[in-house]
Structure 1
Amino acid sequence: MAHFFAHRDHPSTPRKAEDNRGRARRALSQNFLVDPHAVRRMAEAAGSHELLLEPGAGRGALTFALAGNCARVVAYEIDPLHAGRLAARARGVRGIEVVRGDFLAAPAPREPFAVAGNIPYSITSGIVGWCLRAPALTSATLLTQREYARKRSGDFGRWSRLTVLTWPVRSWELGGRVGRAAFRPMPAVDSAILRITTRPVPLLPGEAHAAWRAFVEEGFTGRGGSLHASLRGPYPPRRVDAAFARAGVDRDAVVAFVHPDRWLTLFELLH
């Protein structure tokens, strides 16, 4: 049975007159997924879960597809008009709860859960950050701007600071491209499926994570124009030279072009 909830501690978006609804959608960064094939691909990529949270449910095209694979789907929609309509459509559908409110204001479940959604471009970083801070998250399947997904997954041949920082605990994978024609209104850029998965066993023990963060932050200072030069400040130069030789990392390698796995090797050798 579907349920409808509203965040009482988050102000609802005011209703707009008919001629202002387009402007309201743009303010909320709403580009609705309308291509059935893309909806199926997203649902398949998300997989089956006991509990799944969907940020930015919109009109519910993805909500019902996700519910076909999951025991319970909690769909968050900040727009009261769409939230109300989705709740009405989901009435009588087992396992769907509709929450009218801001996903970013929601507490993370303590039980294992997944996240999947066609998320607003304007708050991509906020939603990704929310997912990364959730200890019980098992995976996040997010439809984002294609450039963002490629940047985080290393598809450009370089890796972002965030990807490297979280690498011992989370893996980042680029899924298929979803063209702009799959959305209404049509955005200016293509999208892609980004998968963030929590590793069953972390690549580093818990007590090493603080040292890992400090190591990565130091490396990304970019001092001297290379990772090798950045690390020769806080670590003995001879040890750094030996670690780079053993890890097979070129001394001239620019920080962002070093694979996260090589970062791990260097960290273990220097610590």
Structure 2
Amino acid sequence: MTEHYQHRARKRFGQNFLHDAGVIHRILRAIYARPTERLLEIGPGQGALTEGLLASGAHLDVVELDLDLIPLLKHKFDSNPNFTLHQGDALKFDFASLNPPPHSLRVVGNLPYNISTPLIFHLLEHASLIRDMHFMLQKEVVERLAATPGGGDWGRLSIMVQYHCQVEHLFNVGSGAFKPAPKVDSAIVRLVPHETLPHPAKDHRQLERVVREAFNQRRKTLRNTLKALLSSDAIEAANVDGSLRPEQLDLAAFVRLADKLCEQTSAE
């Protein structure tokens, strides 16, 4: 890379550039891109993963917010006909504009910690277009995504993502794999949207509402934390024990509560 294209990580974009060749290879192996596929990389940075993804022969769209990185990415990859660069904010990007067939788009990203959760929810709005997502995230975020009921990591993020996707915590990545080294460890997660939802709710918004209320005061029992939405009788009628705390309930139980709220709202 010429001196002209050197780039320093910018704190306001939460940039930490991946440079460990072993980790890069391991991520590329987990993704296993094929020549006929359509991939989207969010925040390619200096192109550590971009190079390997393009080497697969797949078509790669990348979305990069940092204007200073655009010349570097163009210099490195513009000569490849499978490379398309979009300058902009991934949180506002219209993924449908790529016009992929249903369940075909493969999304990849080393996501800045400050936008990872809103970006995952933004992508889930387009879950019907997506085949899978591989993200590098803060390790504790991956632990919450992949959590199971009963533990402290089980909460709103686990439930709402698992409603839409199968979640797999693939492997952890130490801070030394990045420049500058972040203060926390990272992990790679694979999210695969369900083609058929295992526990479909009558109204997805009511599920969000119930989950948000339930975990607002996670130490309290459901009877207390949901009292503004559902009576004790309504909770019992949903076949849920109101004396439990929210972290003790599985996804199916939250869907039953949301469906009970739907019935109640439509009867009013």
TM interval, shorter chain, is 0.7 to 0.9
Structure 1 counterpart of 2:146: 153
Structure 1 pair 67–157 and aligned structure 2 pair: CA distance change class (3 A): farther
Equivalent residue letter for 1:48? A
Query: 2:184 — aligned with what?
Result: 189
Provide the C-alpha distance between the structure 2 equivalents of 1:223 and 1:118, rounded to a whole number of angstroms: 30
1:32 paired residue among 5, 17, 21: 17
Q: Secondary structure at the match of 2:115?
A: helix
AA partner of residue 237 (structure 1): D
Is 1:168 the counterpart of 2:159 in the alignment?
no
Secondary structure of residue in 2 paired with 1:225: coil
What SS class does the counterpart of residue 46 from structure 2 fall into?
coil
In the other structure, the counterpart of 1:130 is 122
Partner secondary structure for residue 144 of structure 1: strand
**Residue 46, structure 1, aligned to residue 31, structure 2:** yes
| TM-superposition CA deviations, 1:175-225 (whole Å, max 9, x none) | 210000000111111101122221011124464434434443453354881
Q: Is 2:68 the counterpart of 1:81? A: yes
What's the counterpart of residue 259 of structure 1?
Answer: 250
1:64 maps to: 51
Offset from partner CA, 1:36-76 (integer Å, 9 cap, x none): 12112222333436221111101111012222346211122
Distance 1:231 1:106, change over 3 A: closer
Contact 1:55 1:118 in 2 (8 A): yes
CA contact (8 A) 2:138 2:185 kept: yes
Deviates more, 1:27-36 or 1:209-218: 209-218
Amino acid at match of 1:120: P
The more displaced of 139-148 and 78-87 is: 78-87
Question: Alpha-carbon deviation of 1:164?
Answer: 1.4
RMSD of Structure 2 on Structure 1 (CA): 3.2
Residue 29 to residue 219, structure 1, CA distance change in 2 (3 Å):
closer
Q: Which runs of 5+ in 1 are unaligned?
A: 1-17, 246-250
Assess if the C-alpha contact under 8 Å between 1:159 and 1:258 holds in 2: no
Aligned residue in 2 for 1:225: 220
Under a length normalisation based on structure 1, what TM-score does the superposition of the two structures give?
Answer: 0.75
Amino acid at match of 2:62: A
Q: 1:66 to 1:222 in 2, by over 3 A?
A: same
TM-score for both structures, normalised by structure 2 = 0.76
Is the contact made by 1:51 and 1:70 (CA closer than 8 Å) also made in structure 2? no
Counterpart CA distance in 1 for 2:90 and 2:70 is 13
C-alpha displacement of 1:32 = 0.7
Matched, 1:178 2:173: yes
Q: How far off its partner does 1:254 sit?
A: 2.4
SS of alignment partner, residue 58 of structure 1: coil
For residues 218-243 of structure 1, give each alpha carbon's deviation from its aligned partner in whole angstroms, at most 9, with x where no partner exists.
53354881235545771453861882
- How many residue pairs match? The answer is 247
Describe the shift of the 1:94–1:152 C-alpha distance in structure 2 as closer, same or farther (beyond 3 A). Answer: same
Task: State the 1:171 CA deviation.
Answer: 2.6
C-alpha distance after superposition, 1:57-96 (max 9, x if no partner):
0111101222234621112222233221222111333412
96, 100, 106: which one aligns with 2:83: 96
Q: Does 1:216 align with 2:231?
A: no
CA 1:173–1:99 in structure 2 vs 1: closer, same or farther (change >3 Å)? same
Q: Which moved more, 1:175-184 or 1:232-241?
A: 232-241
For the pair 1:141 / 2:128, whether they are aligned, the reply is no
Q: Report % sequence identity.
A: 26
Unaligned runs of 5+ in 2: 1-5, 264-268
